[in-house]
Amino acid sequence: MSGSLSSSVSPERVGLVGLGRIGRNLALNLKDGGVEVVGFDHAPEALAHAVRDGLIAVPSIEALLDALAPPRLVMLALPAGAATEGVLQALLPRLVAGDIIVDLGNAHFDDTAERVRRLRAREVGFLGVGVAGGESGARYGAALMAGGESSAWARVAPVLRKAAARLDGRPQVALLGPEGSGHLAKVAHNAAEYAEMAAIAEIYTFLERILDLGPEETARLFDRWARDDGASYLLEITANILRRDDPLTQRPLIEVVLDRVEHTGTGLWAVQAAQAAGVAVPQVTAALELRLISREQEGRRRRSRDWPRGTVERPDPNEAVPVLENALLLARIGGLVQALELAHEVARSRGWRLALARMLRIWRAGGIVRSPLLQRFEQAVPELSRPGGLLFEPWLARRIRELLPSLRRTVAFAARAGLPVPSLSACLFWLEARHQTSLPTRMTAAQRDYFGGHGVVRADRQGRYHLDGTRVQAG
Ligand code: 3PG
Q: Please report which confidence band the pLDDT of residue 429 belongs to, taking 50, 70 and 90 as the band edges.
A: very high
State the CB neighbour count (10 A cutoff) for residue 270: 32
Q: Is the pLDDT of residue 402 over 50?
A: yes
The pLDDT tens digits for 250-281 are: 999 999 999 999 999 999 999 999 999 999 99
Q: What distance lies between CA 411 and its chain's CA centroid?
A: 25
Domains located in the chain, CATH noted: 13-179 (3.40.50.720), 187-434 (1.10.1040.10), 440-475 (1.20.5)
Q: Is the pLDDT of residue 303 over 90?
A: yes
CB 377 within 8 A of CB 303: no
Residues assigned a catalytic role: 186, 193
Q: Whose CA is nearest to atom 11 of ligand 1?
A: 263
The pLDDT tens digits for 201-248 are: 999 999 999 999 999 999 999 999 999 879 999 999 999 999 999 999
Q: Whose CA is nearest to atom 4 of ligand 1?
A: 264
- Atom of ligand 1 lying closest to residue 265 CA: 10
In the DSSP assignment, the letter for residue 57 is E
Alpha-carbon gap, residue 235 to 441, rounded angstroms = 37
CB 22 within 8 A of CB 39: no
The pLDDT tens digits for 42-74 are: 999 999 999 999 999 999 999 999 999 999 999
Candidate from 84, 129, 136, 190 with most ligand 1 atoms within 8 A of CB, to mutate: 190
Instruction: Give the mean pLDDT of 422-428.
Output: 98
The pLDDT tens digits for 72-111 are: 999 999 999 999 999 999 999 999 999 999 999 999 999 9
Q: Is the pLDDT of residue 8 over 60?
A: no
Give every CB contact of residue 131 below 8 A, 6+ residues apart in sequence.
22, 26, 77, 104, 137, 138, 142, 143, 144, 145, 186
Whole-number pLDDT of residue 312: 87
309 residue type, one letter: R
Collapsing DSSP to helix, strand or coil, 39 comes out as: strand
Interhelix angle for 317-350 vs 109-120, to 10°? 30
Q: Whose CA is nearest to atom 8 of ligand 1?
A: 263
Q: Is the pLDDT of residue 4 over 50?
A: no
Instruction: Give the mean pLDDT of 304-330.
Output: 95
* Cα-Cα-Cα-Cα dihedral sign, residues 89, 90, 92, 93: positive
Pocket-forming residues, ligand 1, beta carbon under 6 Å: 106, 190, 263-264, 266-267
- Atom of ligand 1 lying closest to residue 132 CA: 2
Expressed in angstroms and rounded, the spacing between residue 472 Cα and the centre of ligand 1 is 47
CB 323 within 8 A of CB 410: yes
- Atom of ligand 1 lying closest to residue 186 CA: 2
Whole-number pLDDT of residue 228: 83
Whole-number pLDDT of residue 1: 47
* Percentage with pLDDT > 70 across the chain: 97
Q: Whose CA is nearest to atom 5 of ligand 1?
A: 134
Residue 83, CB half-sphere, CA atoms under 13 Å: how many?
A: 18
Expressed in angstroms and rounded, the spacing between residue 264 Cα and the centre of ligand 1 is 6
CB 232 within 8 A of CB 203: no
Candidate from 144, 266, 271, 295 with most ligand 1 atoms within 8 A of CB, to mutate: 266
Collapsing DSSP to helix, strand or coil, 42 comes out as: coil
CB 260 within 8 A of CB 295: yes
Candidate from 129, 135, 193 with most ligand 1 atoms within 8 A of CB, to mutate: 193
CB 413 within 8 A of CB 313: no
Expressed in angstroms and rounded, the spacing between residue 118 Cα and the centre of ligand 1 is 27
The pLDDT tens digits for 335-382 are: 999 999 999 999 999 999 999 999 999 999 999 999 999 999 999 999
* Strand 464-465 with 100-103, pairing: unpaired
Expressed in angstroms and rounded, the spacing between residue 190 Cα and the centre of ligand 1 is 7
Expressed in angstroms and rounded, the spacing between residue 267 Cα and the centre of ligand 1 is 8
Among 78, 85, 93, CA closest to 16:
78
Expressed in angstroms and rounded, the spacing between residue 50 Cα and the centre of ligand 1 is 23
State the CB neighbour count (10 A cutoff) for residue 358: 19
Phi, psi of 326 (to 5 degrees): -65, -45
pTM over 0.75, yes/no: yes
Alpha-carbon gap, residue 150 to 270, rounded angstroms = 26
Quote the mean pLDDT of the chain.
Answer: 96
